[in-house]
Amino acid sequence: MKLRVLGCSGGIGGNLRTTSFLLDRDVLIDAGTGVGELSLTELAAIDHVFVTHSHLDHIASIPFMVDSVGFMRDQPLTVYASEETLDILRQHIFNWKIWPDFSEIPNARQPYMRYQPVKMGKAVVLNGRRITPIPANHVVPAVGYHLDSGRASLVFSGDTTTNEAFWKAVNKIKNLRYLVIETAFSNSEKNLAMLSKHLCPSMLAEELVKFKSDAEVFITHLKPGELELTMSEIEECVRGIRPRMLLNNQEFEF
């Protein structure tokens, strides 16, 4: 499996793009503004989109993508998420008011897009690749994802705050090579991090004490204008692990 970072910022500006990862050539993990970096040919090759939660920075490109390349494809784009998240997409995005309902275009029998609910802890298997929802703790229903090639694994936390269930799931993974975990705010904004159910460096440090693996750790969802500050605070707060900042166009093979 190869994972390419299309976007990993908590906002936009300059070259910053919001959360999206391209798995091999046919799967997206979240679909933030980073998806806009792909060509039409690359977009048309995507068959599956796994969504962590319904916030705009993680789903913004789905409406544009299906509108741009739906007619170029011979099968629907499948959007995977929890039933609660799919309901939000149906009610608030693909509702004919914000955007057309592409699960009915060109018709309900042969649509450009279809929804597929996922269940916590139950893997979706795509050509030998196992993609498993794991617990996240956010202000809307949310999951992270465990991506397993059979040889090695990568875990993406999605947007989350302190979460015992997340670590319980992660610490069971024997072949974990990479952990991508969010830290959205600096320590001066801890109250905001707690209110919005994100992490700041001091909270991350407390969470990583629960981490029982020697996998490499990468930090995602940093806010624009605070990248250096937040990473320096992580370096000061975290002991025994040296997390690195996730970068656009970074690639992981596992």
**What CATH homologous superfamily does 119-244 map to?**
Ribonuclease Z/Hydroxyacylglutathione hydrolase-like (3.60.15.10)
Q: What is the DSSP string of 25-58?
A: TTEEEEESGGGGGS-HHHHHT--EEE-S---HHH
Cα–Cα dist 77/203, whole Å: 37
- Looking at residue 13, its amino acid is G
Asked if 77 contacts 113 with a C-beta cutoff of 8 angstroms, the reply is yes
CATH for 1-81+83-117 is: 3.60.15.10
DSSP bridge partners of 5: 21
Phi, psi for 210 (deg, rounded to 5): -85, -10
- Each residue of 4-15: pLDDT tens digit? 999 999 999 989
Report if pTM > 0.95. yes
Instruction: Locate CATH 3.60.15.10 in the chain.
Output: 1-81+83-117, 119-244
| pLDDT at res. 43 | 98
| pLDDT at res. 210 | 97
3-state secondary structure of 244: strand
- Each residue of 165-185: pLDDT tens digit? 999 999 999 999 999 999 999
User: What is the torsional sign of CA 76, 82, 88, 91?
Assistant: positive
Could you say which residues of the chain have pLDDT below 70? none
Q: In sequence order, what are the residues at sequence separation of 6 or more whose Cβ sits closer than 8 angstroms to the Cβ of residue 151?
A: 175, 254
Task: Write the CA distances from 238 to 28, 117, 135, 167, 220, integer angstroms.
Answer: 30, 36, 23, 16, 15
Strands 216-220 and 176-182, bridge-based pairing:
parallel
| pLDDT at res. 183 | 98
- Each residue of 37-47: pLDDT tens digit? 999 999 999 99
3-state secondary structure of 187: helix
Q: From the CB of residue 231, how many other CB atoms can be counted at a distance below 10 Å? A: 18
- Sheet containing 20-23: which strands, arranged edge to edge? 113-117, 77-81, 48-50, 27-31, 20-23, 2-7, 251-253
| pLDDT at res. 242 | 95
| pLDDT at res. 116 | 98
